[in-house]
Structure 1
Amino acid sequence: MTDQLLQVEDLDVVLPSGAGAGTVLDGVSFAVDAGRTTGLIGESGSGKTMSAMAIVGLLPPGAETAGRITWRSDDLLAAAARRIRQVRGREIGVIFQDPLAALNPIQTVGRQVGEILRRAGRPRQQVRTRVLELLDRVGIPNPEQRIDVYPHELSGGMRQRVMIAMALAGEPQLIIADEPTTALDVTTQARILRLLADLRDQEGMAMLLVSHDLRVMAHVADDIVVMYAGRVAERGPAREVLEHPRHPYTRALANNVPAVSTKSAIAEPLQGAPANPFDRPGGCAFHPRCPLAVDRCRTDVPVLREVETGRFSACHLAEKVES
């Protein structure tokens, strides 16, 4: 039986916008189990990053939330700000998408990696020793020399490793990695992904990985949550979702990446533009782009339902979707 660390249930997020208010997350539900990687996948604007940031209380100002986010026995949506700060960094580490933007340009990398240790009251020398261990742990060569440099003095790959070291400093049980390889070249991407997978296995952590890249998910994720227009389109074990999708959107994403698709050797571009969460079409939000759409798809919002053991799809025609 798996140990469920995190459960997101019926999460709604409403943000203020120029035209009033918009529901950017609508009934999002998924879980992360101990020792496993859950991937949130979808195009830009699908709500994957918003879902991840809601967990650690990093939503934009003015956001209104409903639902429940259970971390161990705490509901993080209802928790006091002090408890959220305690969880963020110490119990749940976060790796942001752009390390150059996330790191402070006027502080050395050593000071930034050691911040959470200083807040915990560790003596100065212990902090420095631990930071050196962390920099070495994430594969930064010559940590004794790199600990006192500034972020701009490092390559993109090295800055991302610093972000990973920061996330590990609090010895968290869960790492949230938000598009951790987007700004990196292909070779560096592979190294960072391998590092994250190794750290997960060796440290016994779980990981919530946010990405738009199905190839990343194919190599790293144990479970996948496919998101579209702020809703969950499909979720289940990664291999089954990728090889036998039960939602037309998942199938379209897989066919757009030949290395992932088991049926096509040629990429099939995904037609149309992603739905705007602030102005979703009626019925299934994917129906304007869906080749299988019928009248019901245009009028009735599909409910996320179990279509096979452990497989969930929000599609009226899930049983007819071919991989």
Structure 2
Amino acid sequence: MTDALLQIEHLSIDLPGPAGPVRVVDDVSFAVAAGRTTGLIGESGSGKTMTATAVIGLLPAGAEVSGSMWWQGEDLVTMAEKDRRRLRGRAIAMIFQDPQSALNPTQTIGRQVGEILRRGGMPKQEVRQKVIDLLDRVGVPDPRTRHAQYPHQYSGGLRQRAMVATALAGSPQLILADEPTTALDVTVQARILALLRRIREEEGMAMLLVSHDLRVMAHVADEVVVMYAGRLCEIGPGREVLSSPAHPYTRALVVSVPAVRSRTAIAEPLPGSPASPADRPSGCPFHPRCAKARAVCRTEVPQMRQVAPGRQVACHFPEET
């Protein structure tokens, strides 16, 4: 991808476990284009959040990372921590899944939104006005009053808007959004998604959106990356992948959520339980849950291959999906 802002190549992440290292992300490669939203889809334990936190450098202690993550000619994997801190919050920012735990309950919203500005040397009065402007932009009512309030005085939806304002404060080129609407009701989810899409378009920034909710991806993602048990399943344009999946796992996700297909479609539950990276099946990790699995699926790991322009899939028999 020639306009890639972030290029991830053969990324693998090992976490310490009771019986030794556990590979939670295994040989993952994809790109995030400037000015576009790339969606990371998968069930819990698929490795999508680990991939996003690797980009911003917030992996758990003891994590071992291999491969490359190219950012403007520099490899984030080998970059010194002091240089990662320089990028964090400025060039690359993150919106966390649970604003209740991500926000400091002992500090005002305004102080937290303005932290990156103060660290950049902006004068106190300018910081205050910038924070008010940011809160107003993301839809926090009466920001001149509410910037001095604490997180517990905000509703769940407003806390998430404050998190968006915090991410925007450093004028980043890339925002990582980890399940940004999971804890919200449906109405508030729609408003937050509309806000993220509007701001991305206005700022021309890129977004890596992590979610297990295909309805979210259908509304927001330009490109989609599907992961299962730490490995890639499918990559392609969002509309094409969700309307015509090439991997059995992607298809199973789509048909399990009727609203992605049509209002009258009947849900087809995905059988079985997600594979654990600590005990990943041989061959294709999805084969124990796949109705079309054959002998080769149980013994050989399928490699990513192109099945159409801009579309890749890791399946031995994608034409049957």
Match of 1:267 in 2: 267
Match of 1:167 in 2: 167
Question: What displacement does 1:320 show?
Answer: 1.5
For 1:137 and 1:92, the matched residues in 2 are separated by 20
For 1:50 and 1:112, the matched residues in 2 are separated by 25
Aligned ranges for residues 131-280 of structure 1 at < 5 Å? 131-261=131-261, 265-280=265-280
Tell me, which stretches of 5 or more residues in structure 2 are unaligned?
none
- What amino acid sits opposite 2:186 in the alignment? V
For 2:308 and 2:262, the matched residues in 1 are separated by 20
- What amino acid sits opposite 2:64 in the alignment? E
Q: Which moved more, 1:259-268 or 1:34-43?
A: 259-268
- What amino acid sits opposite 2:36 in the alignment? R
For 2:265 and 2:170, the matched residues in 1 are separated by 44
For 1:20 and 1:202, the matched residues in 2 are separated by 46
Report the CA distance shift for 1:108/1:263 in structure 2 as closer, same or farther (over 3 A).
closer
Structure 1 stretches (4+) deviating beyond 3 angstroms?
Answer: none
- What amino acid sits opposite 2:208 in the alignment? L
SS at match of 1:86: helix
SS at match of 2:82: helix
Question: What displacement does 1:261 show?
Answer: 2.6
- What amino acid sits opposite 1:109 in the alignment? I
For 1:216 and 1:186, the matched residues in 2 are separated by 11
SS at match of 1:105: coil
Contact 1:255 1:264 in 2 (8 A): no
Report the CA distance shift for 1:177/1:106 in structure 2 as closer, same or farther (over 3 A).
same
Aligned ranges for residues 41-120 of structure 1 at < 5 Å? 41-120=41-120
- What amino acid sits opposite 2:79 in the alignment? A
Residue deviations 1:200-253 (CA, integer Å, cap 9, x gap): 001111110000000000000000000000011001000110011110000000
Q: How many residues were matched structurally?
A: 321
Contact 1:233 1:313 in 2 (8 A): yes
Match of 1:4 in 2: 4
Structure-1-length-normalised TM-score: 0.98
Question: What displacement does 1:165 show?
Answer: 0.3
For 1:87 and 1:306, the matched residues in 2 are separated by 33
- What amino acid sits opposite 2:256 in the alignment? N
Contact 1:40 1:226 in 2 (8 A): yes
Report the CA distance shift for 1:263/1:138 in structure 2 as closer, same or farther (over 3 A).
closer
SS at match of 1:89: coil
For 1:113 and 1:190, the matched residues in 2 are separated by 23
SS at match of 2:283: coil
Residue deviations 1:78-99 (CA, integer Å, cap 9, x gap): 0000111111100011000000
